[in-house]
Amino acid sequence: MGGHAKVEVAGRVVSTVEQDTGQLEGRVSSAIRWSAVNSLLQRLAAVGISILLARLIAPEQFGVFAVALVVLNIVLSVSELGVSAALVRHNGPVEEMAPTVTTLSLASGGLLALICVVGAPWFSNAMDAPEATGVIQLMSVALVIAGATAVPGAMMQRNFRQDHKFYADTAAFVCGTAVAVVLAIMGFGAWSLAWQRIAQNLSAAVIMFWLTKDRFRPGWNSGQAKELLAFGLPLAGSSLLIFGVMNVDYIVVGAVLGTVPLGFYLLAFNLASWPVAAFSAPVRSVSLAAFSKVREDPELFQKAFGRALGLLALVTVPACVLLAALAEPLIRVVYGERWAPAAAALALLVLLGAVRVALELGYDFLASAGRSKAILVIHLVWLGALVPLLALGAHLDGIRGVAAAHVVVAVLIITPAYLITFRPYGIRAGALGVRLLRPFLGGVVMVAVVLAVRNVIDSELLQILVGGAAACLAYAAVVFPMRHEVIAVLKKRAGA
């Protein structure tokens, strides 16, 4: 009887674990679908609006806005000291932790906003763009909003409520677009883009607070604060370095080349980031929470990263290749002749975007494993190697040289650093290479097809349409054998 009872209990435990795993996969699958729809719609709409605004606002005004955006992005990266990630990562109840997180987020957001307001004249003069001072001061309001919404945003991510985030982002897009277009038509230039950012943040905050059921007032627990800061500060430092890595090029271009080339570079960088936002963002919205749920199972933890990277590459590679191979005709046809210089940097920045998709997934994997200090060290190396090469690239080849420096550091220094850090978890470069082989070969074939079409067809519009369609068909033929893996994942999620 004792043996039968033990077997029965063990069976129940296994059944419960399987049921919990199935529920988790179902929640993750639903969250990814919502996030994918959200990201795709937002990006498509954003591209349309950016085309309109590019025709309403002069390149030098985009350069002024870029200076302000550098300040905002860098400071936003540490606005809540990285402590909200602790809520997402924590597997137990968060009722005791959340009030302290709320206090830290509000305090840091308000203090950083004050620093931006006071320091705006110094930074704008250092960038040789004194007209950006007021824009920086206005956009610092976003730091206060970010501090207030840190906990609701973390709870949405923790609970896989990407449907709620979809509603918040949609409201933000509608309100921000209306403000930007009206002010741009009225001739407000860079100010219209700054007010767009404030309108987006405010409207998203209202929806987030309305939909989030978990309400936490500010509170304080010294012991929890120490634990939160011990985990969060290295991540905040890493986030600061990440935004430094992704924004120091603006500083270099503005200081070395001026605001007009900076406007061209900003357009190219934003367009090159489209694949990152469209495909990486949906996965990243759930990856930290999903990796954290399975980190106690080493085999599943390892496989989860490899499978996620392979599927991301499957959809990211063709988008990146099309942007890179069709950079020049795309810029001329869509944005107009005056923006043609942006094409010089676009192709290389798209390659950087493709690498970023993999590196950002690696960031979430290491964060879920608690390796925040390793992440910090990697990004210290990244920024330290990048700054001198960006300056060299700017002097040698303008904005194209800056983009090339970005790619060299990401591919030759940072990718190997991540691979070394992955080793304790059983993740090997060879295994990842096998998963990425077919998408890579498909991308090479796409480049050959597009170049052939561009040599045969003179019309830039037809180059985009015919070259894009033919390249996509060629890519599908190369990656067709991967359909079995994709179907298996879809069936598994459907069954969950």
CB 320 within 8 Å of CB 351: yes
CA geometry: angle at 245 spanning 411 and 71, to 5°? 160
* Average predicted confidence (pLDDT) for the chain: 76
pLDDT, tens digit (0-9, with 9 covering 90-100), for 234-258: 666 666 677 677 778 888 888 888 8
pLDDT surpasses 50 at 1 = no
CB 261 within 8 Å of CB 253: yes
pLDDT band at 281 (very low <50, low <70, confident <90, very high): low
| CA distances to 159, 209, 415 from 305, in Å | 20, 32, 15
| CA distances to 160, 314, 340 from 84, in Å | 15, 31, 41
pLDDT band at 357 (very low <50, low <70, confident <90, very high): confident
User: Strand ranges (DSSP E) for 142-268?
Assistant: none
pLDDT band at 412 (very low <50, low <70, confident <90, very high): very high
CA-to-CA distance for 193 and 66, rounded, in angstroms?
10
pLDDT, tens digit (0-9, with 9 covering 90-100), for 58-115: 666 666 666 666 666 666 655 555 566 666 666 566 677 777 777 877 777 788 788 8
Q: Is 81 left (phi over 0), alpha (psi -120 to 50) or beta?
A: left
User: Residue 54: in which H helix or E strand, if any?
Assistant: helix 2-56
pLDDT of residue 178: 83
Helix axes 281-294, 162-185, angle to 10 degrees: 150
| CA distances to 62, 173, 181, 202, 334 from 48, in Å | 16, 12, 12, 22, 9
Q: What are phi and psi of 218, to 5 degrees?
A: -60, 140
Query: Quick one: DSSP state of residue 413?
Result: I
Torsion of CA 185, 187, 191, 194, to 10 degrees: 10
Helix axes 141-158, 59-76, angle to 10 degrees: 60
